[in-house]
Amino acid sequence: MKSILGLMFRALIFICISLSALLPAYAAEDTDSFTSIDSISYFQAAIKDAEYCSMTLAGGELTPINSRTGKALSNAAMLCPDMFSWKLFAEAIHAKFWSNWADETNNWPSEPYALCKTGQSPDTYEPGCCMPGAGAKNNSVHCPVYPGSQYEATLKSLTRGLPEEAHKLARDPVLRRNTRLPFHDSLTPIGRAGRLGRLKSMKGDTAAPTSCSEHLVAEIVKKFNPTDAESTGRVIRQTNAELTVRNREFHDYLFANNLYNANGVLEVFAANQINMQEERPYRRANQSSKDGKPGSLYRVDLPPDAVMIKSNWLHQDLAKALGLPSDQKQYISKFLQTEIDLKALGISKTDQTCNLEGIHHLVAFHISSKDIPNWVWATFEHVNLPGRCDITGCNDAYGYASGDNNRPTATAANYVKPNQRSDGLNSSSTIFDSGKTYPLEKIRPEWNELLVKLSIGTGTSTSEVEPDPEDMAWRNFRLKGSQVEFVNSVGQSTLLGNSVTEGGFMDGSSCISCHARAGAAAETINPPPLSVFERSLTNFGYARSHHGIPNPFWFYNDINRGPKMLVMQTDFVWGFLNAKGICRNMKKQDGSIGPVCDKLGAGKEEF
């Protein structure tokens, strides 16, 4: 009996020891299932919308409400930034931002006339002047223009015309959108092509680049995508038609307050500087133009309903060459032009450019709105873009639910984590698996219902050359993320970037932090006193943009007894880089009559 009990006891001890040995092994295996990327991404996956965020349609307007009480939310931009981003998305589409809103030459003419003074009229004052609300009386080359009003009838014909007529109208210089390549770390908006344009202008040659021939198009398609490119997003960024537009409220504020030219912007800087140096600690209040009366500004402060959009459009031949699905119905499309630097691609040995014209697909866009003092920032990407959730992941608590089927069942469906893989080394690590596709997110019921009621993404496009709000392809965009603050409540820098717009420097990108550096100095606007990029490089060698809180010493000197403003913020708007000195029609040295312009805001150009 004792021997049996002894055997049983020893067996029990063996079982316990065996089980205890298994427990640490299980725990270790469970811990190892999480990668360092998972641990760090946890902080990027924060749910940004409060649980009671909801929207309803009232009087044709999207209205944020508290889902529990049904009452309107007083500050939806801060409480529900993802939901608010989709609200901006729908409102911009309904307003047809791609054609109605003012592009950068509409906002800031390259040879601007002065704002008309009392008693002056734009159609009779010989030196030339611009008057808000004067419509066709203003010179459309030298004065701000809002296309949705100025070209309303032509835009309707473009949308409704038969294919042949529509294609002809799309090439009309009046409707031609100001597209460009994006900023480089040299701060020139279109790199070599931009320098070429300025050199041509200096020589009196203002002709636009010619259209790319069929032969050149074939060569461009072969060479625009090098095999060792940093990412597909970077390739698109450097070979797309970037169209930046601003809504009516934004445009009217610039026009009425004389901010469409460099003189007006620098006058605000001077007024702000004098106020600080002669009347500190007291500040003067802004008085914006109202009812035709001139404004008195001491800072640039856009109205709360101002909205700006930076959009990226890719020529259909380039999209096909990159391996994106060729089904035209998957894309929002418009007739545009991409400027191509033939020397940079190795197609020409001399400085030459041409315009790659034709149907372009909308692949990505940023929306920014002044609903809060530091603006709301949101970015959207097309589902077909490889690498769209790389590095930071994609975060949307409202419009579309994550397609990550491997996440724990009790977790929220707001986050799509970045793709990962092993580096395959002897002592291996998990790294990003960049440039791959992501599982498709599924639309949430409330947002689907609202889109149907708004007639957005419910049918097919009615035009080959112009987008249509009803086009189902609008449902192929996903919110990459939203941003409303520099840092979160525990002091971590917030990040937001687009795989196209920030292609090449996504690691560390922050829309709000980058735009906080937009400003003007005492004598210069462009080149900007604070650069878009910092003295910091990615592993690939591209310059990085700033993230985190701004540095006050960027803007003011560090001398308490004599404060001096070094840089005046231009309300998060880099577009003021386009502001030029006022021009007047007068006799030139050669005896001809033409615009003679103030050399203001341009700083020193380097070619």
Beta bridge partners of 308: 246, 368
Q: Read off the pLDDT of residues 551-590 as tens digits, 9 standing for 90 and up.
A: 999 999 988 778 899 999 999 999 999 999 999 988 777 7
Q: 5 in a domain, yes or no?
A: no
Domain that holds residue 466: 53-109+144-597
Report whether pLDDT(140) > 90: yes
Check: CB of residue 554 under 8 Å from CB of residue 568. Answer: no
Q: Read off the pLDDT of residues 13-52 as tens digits, 9 standing for 90 and up.
A: 443 434 344 334 333 334 568 999 999 999 999 999 999 9
Please tell me the predicted confidence (pLDDT) of residue 32. 62
Please tell me the predicted confidence (pLDDT) of residue 595. 87
Amino acid at 273: Q
Q: 384 in a domain, yes or no?
A: yes
Give the mean model confidence (pLDDT) for residues 352-359.
96
- For residues 277, 282, 288, 292, the Cα torsion angle rounded to the nearest 10 degrees is -90
Check: CB of residue 309 under 8 Å from CB of residue 99. Answer: no
State the pairing for strand pair 129-130/114-115. parallel
Q: Read off the pLDDT of residues 394-424 as tens digits, 9 standing for 90 and up.
A: 999 999 999 998 899 999 999 999 999 999 9
Q: 18 in a domain, yes or no?
A: no
Q: 606 in a domain, yes or no?
A: no
Beta bridge partners of 599: none
Report whether pLDDT(4) > 50: no
Q: Range with the lowest mean pLDDT among 161-165, 377-381, 446-450, 518-522?
A: 161-165
CA distances from 554 to 72, 257, 519 (A): 39, 26, 10
Inter-helix orientation angle 152-160/163-170, to 10°: 140
Q: 552 in a domain, yes or no?
A: yes
Please tell me the predicted confidence (pLDDT) of residue 208. 61
State the DSSP H helix or E strand holding residue 165, giving kind and residue range, or none if neither. Answer: helix 163-170
Strand stretches in 261-347, DSSP E = 307-315, 333-341
Q: 122 in a domain, yes or no?
A: no
Q: What is the CA radius of gyration of the chain?
A: 28
Average pLDDT, the chain: 89
Q: How far apart are CA 476 and CA 529, in angstroms?
A: 39
List the one residue out of 240, 232, 234, 185 whose CA is nearest residue 546.
185
Q: 120 in a domain, yes or no?
A: no
pTM over 0.75: yes
- Per cent of the chain over pLDDT 70 is 89
Please tell me the predicted confidence (pLDDT) of residue 183. 59
Report whether pLDDT(127) > 80: yes
CA distances from 369 to 66, 301, 310, 360, 520 (A): 22, 12, 12, 25, 21
Amino acid at 522: A
Q: Read off the pLDDT of residues 58-85 as tens digits, 9 standing for 90 and up.
A: 999 999 999 999 999 999 999 999 999 9
Q: How far apart are CA 361 and CA 477, in angstroms?
A: 12
How many structural domains does the chain have?
1
Q: 124 in a domain, yes or no?
A: no
Q: Range with the lowest mean pLDDT among 12-16, 74-78, 123-127, 445-449?
A: 12-16
